[in-house]
Homo-oligomer: A and B are copies of this chain.
Amino acid sequence: MTAAISLTTVVGNPKRLSRTLTTAEALAAAIGSELRAEPRAASIDLAELYLDGIEPPHDGFEHAATQVHTANVLIVGTPVYKASYTGLLKLFLDQLAPRALEGVLAVPVTIAASAEHRFLADLQLRPVLAELGASLPVPSLALRESELPALPEHIGAWTEAHAPALEAALGLGRKPVGAAA
């Protein structure tokens, strides 16, 4: 493969420049370097996007929505809040068109404060992304905060295990980069 791959990261941590954002971007970078294609990366920090209100700020929102629905791979990051994904992330997903993620390979990244909450955001998020039409061919990267100091190892293990399946899924019906879904 020599075509470009569009890799978009969208993160729903209400704090700007959060560890969720840097973690999701690190996974995106690792996936990009693993795929035999030139990655084109974009990153959306929803805490920035919604700074001025919940109404879709037309230019900013439309730009973000286009980056999301034209992505080949979409890294979706959220901390675990109140036993689920954040409202900020869902607010953005709610404003997307029905089936906006058709043809997008989605990879959730969740970060939990406690072991007991580790899988809860992921359990609630995958059905929502599937409802939007996303393909979810690989397991999520579900981390605990206490694992963040060893982030490179966790990302390395995840990438080794799952990049081949992402690559295979990308090989079929690749959308031209930049085209709307």
The residues of A with any CB-CB pair to B shorter than 8 Å are 14, 47, 50-55, 81-94, 96, 114-116, 118-120, 123-124, 126-128, 130-132, 135-139, 164-165, 167-169, 171-173
With contact pairs A51-B53, A87-B91, A123-B127 given, residues A137 and B169 touching in the complex (Cβ less than 8 Å): yes
Q: In the complex, A85→B131 CA distance in Å?
A: 13
Q: In the complex, A128→B94 CA distance in Å?
A: 18
A131 x B172 contact (CB < 8 A): no
B131 x A54 contact (CB < 8 A): no
Contacts of A137 in B (CB 8 A): 135-137, 165, 169
A128 x B53 contact (CB < 8 A): no
B52 x A132 contact (CB < 8 A): no
Q: Which of B47, B50, B124 contacts A84 (CB 8 A)?
A: B124
The quantity of this chain's copies bound in the complex is 4
Among A87, A88, A135, the one with the most B-chain Cβ atoms within 10 Å of its Cβ is: A87
Residue of B nearest to A171 (CB): B168
Residue of B nearest to A164 (CB): B172
Contacts of A81 in B (CB 8 A): 90, 94
Contacts of A164 in B (CB 8 A): 172-173
Q: Which of B93, B124, B128, B168 contacts A168 (CB 8 A)?
A: B168
Residue of B nearest to A119 (CB): B116
A47 CB to closest chain B CB (Å) equals 8
Q: Which of B87, B127, B130, B131 contacts A90 (CB 8 A)?
A: B87
Contacts of A138 in B (CB 8 A): 135
Contacts of A94 in B (CB 8 A): 14, 81-82, 86-88
Contacts of A135 in B (CB 8 A): 137-138, 165
Q: In the complex, A84→B121 CA distance in Å?
A: 13
A117 CB to closest chain B CB (Å) equals 8
